[in-house]
Homo-oligomer: A and B are copies of this chain.
Amino acid sequence: MAKPVQIGIIGAGRIGKVHARALSQLPMARIEIIADVVDGAAKKLADEFNVARAGTDYREILQDKNIDGVFICSSTDTHAKLIEEAAKAGKNIFCEKPIALDLDKIDMALKAVADAKVILMVGFNRRYDAGNIRLRQALLAGEVGTPEICCISSRDPAPPPMEYVKISGGLFLDMMIHDFDLARFLLNDEPVELLACGACLVDKRIGKLGDYDTAMVTIRFRKGALCHIDNSRRAVYGYDQRAELFGSKGMISTSHIHNDNTVFAGVDGFRRPPIQNFFLERYLQAYQAEGGVFVDCVRKRKAPPAGGRDGRAAVVMGYAALKSAKEGRWVKMAEIK
């Protein structure tokens, strides 16, 4: 049997745990070491998944010659720098989104990756969801014909803590960035211009921070398709994730995934259970698939489905949306530099 890809994880928080779990189930991957600045955090995660080594210094990972790939799961402000260092150390890189909130930093990180000729895969987990994959395949296979309309609804079950909102980069860069990437993925096309409209309807404290909790964006893509995205920070019925592709030959859409497959019929009507509550549950299988794709790309030296260019493009769209919402006008991607 071939040798498993040896991996180091930087960051043992919520998303680091998601990837540790996914990687621990892959026969072709082996987590060698976990690092986290918080004392004891890496050790705890390492114990849970039978990982031998743990520490507080990520450089231990980068300096280890046996490590093939690094998972960057630390806070957003560290991503770009870690990508640069990992690239210089010759490591293949999986980095959680966003690469950075600063385009210059992104460009420097991408340059380091290009120079080092390593693989960079950005964590747009929705690209590995079975439903979204099926939509894209339907497009590529011509089943929907020429795409004309794309609608994406993405709504969180509840707003994040205000502390998080402050440093998040705002709804467009923190939350809708996933939908921007999804739109590019589903339409297999590039955005030309967009019009964003934000509101604060859920929690006034979000508005006081200058952010939005509800938003709609219209995007015009190069090949002509129009795309609608709506976001809300609070859907009381759960984590609402839907997409629809409409074209000259048909429409294909994803529907809700409920907690189980039952229906109860009583005097008040028919009830299905709530939908999966948040991204860890909803995209559990997507995260698992994502880890496998990274490992596969490393082993076969393949370009990942979502690379540095995709990571940058979504941030550009986020800034365009922010500008559009603030200035109340259409903004072209070319304006964002």
Q: A-side interface residues toward B, CB under 8 Å?
A: 1, 24-25, 27, 47-48, 130-131, 133-135, 138, 143, 145-146, 148-149, 151, 153, 155, 195, 197, 199, 201-202, 214-216, 218, 220, 224-226, 228, 230, 232, 234-238, 240, 246, 248-275, 328-330
Contacts and interface: CB of A to CB of B under 8 A. Distances in A.
A250 B267 contact: yes
The 7 A-B pairs with the shortest beta carbon distances in the complex, nearest first, are A237-B265, A250-B266, A130-B260, A270-B272, A251-B265, A252-B264, A131-B261
8 contacts: A138-B264, A151-B228, A195-B195, A199-B226, A250-B264, A252-B265, A267-B274, A329-B330
A148 B268 contact: no
What number of copies of this chain does the assembly contain?
4
Given A215-B226, A237-B266, A270-B272, 20 more contacts: A131-B261, A134-B262, A146-B201, A148-B199, A148-B202, A149-B230, A151-B228, A197-B218, A201-B224, A235-B265, A249-B266, A251-B264, A251-B265, A252-B263, A253-B263, A255-B261, A255-B262, A268-B271, A269-B271, A270-B273
A146 B204 CA distance: 14
Given A27-B48, A252-B263, A329-B329, A235 B246 contact: yes
Contacts of A220: 197, 199
A98 to B, nearest CB: 25
Contacts of A273: 134, 269-270
A66 B80 CA distance: 49
A43 B207 CA distance: 61
A167 to B, nearest CB: 25
Contact of A228 (B24, B201, B230, B262): B230
Given A228-B228, A251-B237, A329-B329, A262 B216 contact: no
A257 B251 CA distance: 16
A274 B1 CA distance: 34
B135 A262 contact: yes
Contacts of A27: 48
B260 A269 contact: no
A252 B260 CA distance: 12
A268 B226 CA distance: 25
Contacts of A146: 201
B155 A262 contact: no
Given A246-B232, A260-B131, A148 B214 contact: yes
Contacts of A272: 269-271
Contacts of A153: 151
A253 B328 CA distance: 29
Nearest to A137: B262
A248 B236 contact: yes
A134 B330 CA distance: 36
